[in-house]
Amino acid sequence: AQTVTQSQPEMSVQEAETVTLSCTYDTSESDYYLFWYKQPPSRQMILVIRQEAYKQQNATENRFSVNFQKAAKSFSLKISDSQLGDAAMYFCACYGGATNKLIFGTGTLLAVQP
Amino acid sequence: SQTIHQWPATLVQPVGSPLSLECTVEGTSNPNLYWYRQAAGRGLQLLFYSVGIGQISSEVPQNLSASRPQDRQFILSSKKLLLSDSGFYLCARGEFFTDTQYFGPGTRLTVL
């Protein structure tokens, strides 16, 4: 079974500053993938970043990067130079290759202050 | 383009009425397709997934069912809606080589 835990229900950051969202996970699978999704007020789920568990190098997509600590089963998201448009609910998720299931955390609501 | 369409965008239905939500995918053949439900202020719950026509795996049977009559069409149904069926329903497709799921715009269902 897979579980994903996001311990920060809400976070706030000043525009142009950096914020880190936390996520821990647990899985019995050796082949898995980790994701961060963004859900703005429109409620459409938008892929932010993806990490293959077999890769040691942390994934980066423009202002978004992750800190993947496999032994600790930690997968945090760092948003640099925060913008007003980054305000949204952020979900961490884990996909198991054997189970074909994407399991989501409960989300972190990020507010960006001008 | 591998756009995902969901119809309708919004739906208000009385308790006990039937339900049919449609998801169609453009551009890709034989995608894995998924139905999720999101209750207000909560994360996503996987309801059904399909790896091909007529192949449905159920995670939360209850009073919902799913069908895949065509390669790029995935339908979520119910014969009699319950109040607890209210929520936001998202369809997703899986990308084969990256195991990444991409989501449609969703359907907001309110059962009164």
Residues A69-113: pLDDT tens digits? 999 999 999 999 999 999 999 999 999 878 888 999 999 999 999
**What pLDDT does B53 receive?**
93
> What's the DSSP call for residue B89?
E
Question: pLDDT band at residue B80, thresholds of 50, 70 and 90?
Answer: very high
Number of Cβ within 10 Å of residue A8's Cβ equals 16
Number of Cβ within 10 Å of residue B65's Cβ equals 16
Q: Hey, are the CB atoms on A35 and B32 less than 8 Å from each other? A: no
Residue of B nearest to A45 (CA): B103
**What pLDDT does A64 receive?**
97
Taking contacts as CB-CB distances below 8 angstroms, the residues of chain A near B5 are none
CB of A87 within 8 A of CB of B23?
no
Locate A111 and state its tokens.
Answer: 């507010």
CB of B82 within 8 A of CB of B64?
no
| Cα–Cα distance measured from residue B52 to residue A22, given in angstroms and rounded to the nearest whole number | 36
SS3 content of chain A, % helix, strand, coil (to 5): 5, 55, 45
Shortest distance, CA B51 to any CA of chain A (angstroms): 10
Question: pLDDT band at residue B99, thresholds of 50, 70 and 90?
Answer: confident
Backbone torsions φ then ψ of B16, nearest 5 degrees: 90, -5
Taking contacts as CB-CB distances below 8 angstroms, the residues of chain B near A101 are 46, 49, 59
Question: pLDDT band at residue A29, thresholds of 50, 70 and 90?
Answer: confident
| Cα–Cα distance measured from residue B101 to residue B94, given in angstroms and rounded to the nearest whole number | 4
Taking contacts as CB-CB distances below 8 angstroms, the residues of chain B near A104 are 43-44
Taking contacts as CB-CB distances below 8 angstroms, the residues of chain A near B92 are 45, 102
* Angle (nearest 5°) at CA B73 between B67 and B78: 35
Shortest distance, CA A34 to any CA of chain B (angstroms): 9
Q: Compute the average pLDDT of residues B85-105.
A: 91
Q: Which of residues 45-104 of B touch A (CB under 8 A)?
A: 46, 49, 51, 59, 88, 90, 92, 94, 98-104
Question: pLDDT band at residue B61, thresholds of 50, 70 and 90?
Answer: low
Locate A37 and state its tokens.
Answer: 């999704």
Rg (CA), chain B: 13
